[in-house]
Amino acid sequence: MPYDKLSDLPDSVKDNLPHHAQEIFKEAFNSASGEYKEEETAFKVAWSAVKNKYEKNEDDEWVKKED
Protein backbone atom coordinates (compact mmCIF):
# COMPACT_ATOMS: atom_id res chain seq x y z
CA MET A 1 0.00 0.00 0.00
CA PRO A 2 1.81 3.14 -1.17
CA TYR A 3 1.74 6.28 0.96
CA ASP A 4 0.27 9.42 -0.63
CA LYS A 5 1.59 11.90 1.90
CA LEU A 6 3.94 12.02 4.87
CA SER A 7 1.05 12.16 7.33
CA ASP A 8 0.04 8.68 6.12
CA LEU A 9 3.34 7.15 7.24
CA PRO A 10 3.39 4.83 10.27
CA ASP A 11 3.89 6.54 13.64
CA SER A 12 7.24 4.76 14.05
CA VAL A 13 8.47 6.72 11.03
CA LYS A 14 6.71 10.05 11.65
CA ASP A 15 7.67 10.19 15.32
CA ASN A 16 11.34 9.36 14.84
CA LEU A 17 12.62 10.61 11.49
CA PRO A 18 13.31 14.20 10.43
CA HIS A 19 11.18 15.56 7.59
CA HIS A 20 13.72 14.85 4.82
CA ALA A 21 14.25 11.30 6.05
CA GLN A 22 10.48 10.77 6.02
CA GLU A 23 10.45 11.86 2.36
CA ILE A 24 13.22 9.38 1.57
CA PHE A 25 11.31 6.62 3.39
CA LYS A 26 8.05 7.36 1.56
CA GLU A 27 9.62 7.45 -1.90
CA ALA A 28 11.65 4.28 -1.32
CA PHE A 29 8.69 2.43 0.19
CA ASN A 30 6.37 3.41 -2.65
CA SER A 31 8.91 2.35 -5.24
CA ALA A 32 9.63 -0.96 -3.52
CA SER A 33 5.97 -1.76 -2.91
CA GLY A 34 5.44 -1.68 -6.65
CA GLU A 35 8.37 -4.02 -7.16
CA TYR A 36 7.93 -6.56 -4.37
CA LYS A 37 4.86 -8.48 -3.23
CA GLU A 38 5.70 -8.50 0.48
CA GLU A 39 5.08 -5.29 2.39
CA GLU A 40 7.84 -6.32 4.81
CA THR A 41 10.35 -6.19 1.95
CA ALA A 42 9.22 -2.68 1.02
CA PHE A 43 9.74 -1.59 4.65
CA LYS A 44 13.26 -3.06 4.65
CA VAL A 45 14.10 -1.24 1.41
CA ALA A 46 12.73 2.03 2.78
CA TRP A 47 14.70 1.79 6.03
CA SER A 48 17.82 0.91 4.07
CA ALA A 49 17.36 4.03 1.93
CA VAL A 50 17.02 6.17 5.06
CA LYS A 51 20.15 4.59 6.58
CA ASN A 52 22.15 5.55 3.49
CA LYS A 53 21.72 9.24 4.40
CA TYR A 54 20.88 9.21 8.11
CA GLU A 55 22.21 7.59 11.26
CA LYS A 56 21.37 7.58 14.94
CA ASN A 57 23.50 9.78 17.16
CA GLU A 58 24.51 9.14 20.77
CA ASP A 59 21.12 10.52 21.91
CA ASP A 60 19.33 7.93 19.75
CA GLU A 61 18.08 10.61 17.35
CA TRP A 62 18.21 10.31 13.56
CA VAL A 63 20.65 12.83 12.06
CA LYS A 64 21.98 13.37 8.56
CA LYS A 65 25.31 11.66 7.93
CA GLU A 66 28.39 13.77 7.33
CA ASP A 67 29.57 13.75 3.73
**What pTM value is reported for the model?**
0.93
What are 7-49's pLDDT values in tens digits?
Answer: 999 999 999 999 999 999 999 999 999 999 899 999 999 999 9
- Please give the Cα distance from 15 to 8 (Å, whole number): 12
C-alpha to C-alpha distances, 51 to 37, 40, 54, nearest whole angstrom: 22, 17, 5
Q: Which of 56, 65, 66, 67 lies closest to 16 in space, CA to CA?
A: 56
If one looks up domain 12-57 in CATH, what number appears?
Answer: 1.10.1740.70
Query: What's residue 67's pLDDT?
Result: 72
Query: What's residue 21's pLDDT?
Result: 98
Q: How do the domains of the chain map onto residue ranges? A: 12-57
